[in-house]
Amino acid sequence: MPITRQPERPKVEVPRPSLASTRTVAPVEEAAPAPPKAAVVPPPRFALQLLRAGRCMLLVELTTGQPFQSRDPSYLLLKDMLRAAGLPDSPQIIGEPVRWPLLVRGQMDQGPEAARDFVQGFVGARLEDEPCACLWLIGLPSMKFAGEADAESYNRELQIEGLGTAWALPGLELMMDEPERKADVWKAMRRLMTRWKSIDE
């Protein structure tokens, strides 16, 4: 008699918890892989031109993505700024513009960190060839990817590891669109001019 009673108990108890557990666990497993997909950041898009004017290097945002033309209003503004700073107003173009993302096939990382490493490496190599007294970062992409700075740093002096002293400025197009910004730029320029002008000038 006791042998026939024992197998009856597990038949009733076993199926119920297993059904309940599969129902509750399934949604959790589906939700878990979602966060990594949201973390994918599209590559930033920008074009920068490096120039030299006297004892300064300039990393300038090219808003159109095209090199400067001699009659471009933005280039004429840059020449005015260089004259005001006591620097040669015909800056020397150094290399081709840096365009991001790079035209590379394959799975190369082209996110913000890779862009910053590339820009800092590019500028750092040019500064090793020919050091400068002050690096002008003109425009937000220049500031962000060479100096790791944001718009809060406009008109400020920055110390960048590997690149030295830098000056963060609004983009040329932004200064043309919002001329009131120029007053702050001139004020900062007068404060920083001793960086690149010798005492006897």
pTM of the model: 0.78
Where b means 16+ CB within 10 Å and e means fewer, 64-94 reads eeeebeeeeebbeebbebbeebebeeebeeb
pLDDT value at residue 28: 52
The architecture (CATH level 2) of 46-195 comes to 3-Layer(aba) Sandwich (3.40)
Q: HSE-up of 8 (CA within 13 Å, CB side)?
A: 5
Q: Is 33 exposed, middle or buried (0-12, 13-18, 19+ CB in 10 A)?
A: exposed
Mean pLDDT of 75-92: 97
Question: Quick one: pLDDT band at residue 197, thresholds 50, 70, 90?
Answer: confident
For the stretch 141-177, pLDDT in tens is 999 999 999 999 999 999 999 999 999 999 999 999 9
Token pair, residue 23, equals 């129902």
pLDDT value at residue 105: 67
pLDDT value at residue 116: 96
Amino acid 141 reads P
For the stretch 22-35, pLDDT in tens is 555 555 555 555 54
Helix (H) or strand (E) holding 95: strand 92-100
> Distances from the Cα of 42 to the Cαs of 45, 63, 104, 108, 115, in angstroms?
9, 19, 15, 13, 12
Helix (H) or strand (E) holding 134: strand 134-138
Question: Quick one: pLDDT band at residue 4, thresholds 50, 70, 90?
Answer: low
Domain ranges of the chain: 2-38, 46-195
Q: At what angle do helices 112-129 and 140-147 cross, to 10 degrees?
A: 80
Q: At what angle do helices 73-84 and 181-192 cross, to 10 degrees?
A: 40
SS3 content of the chain, % helix, strand, coil (to 5): 45, 20, 35
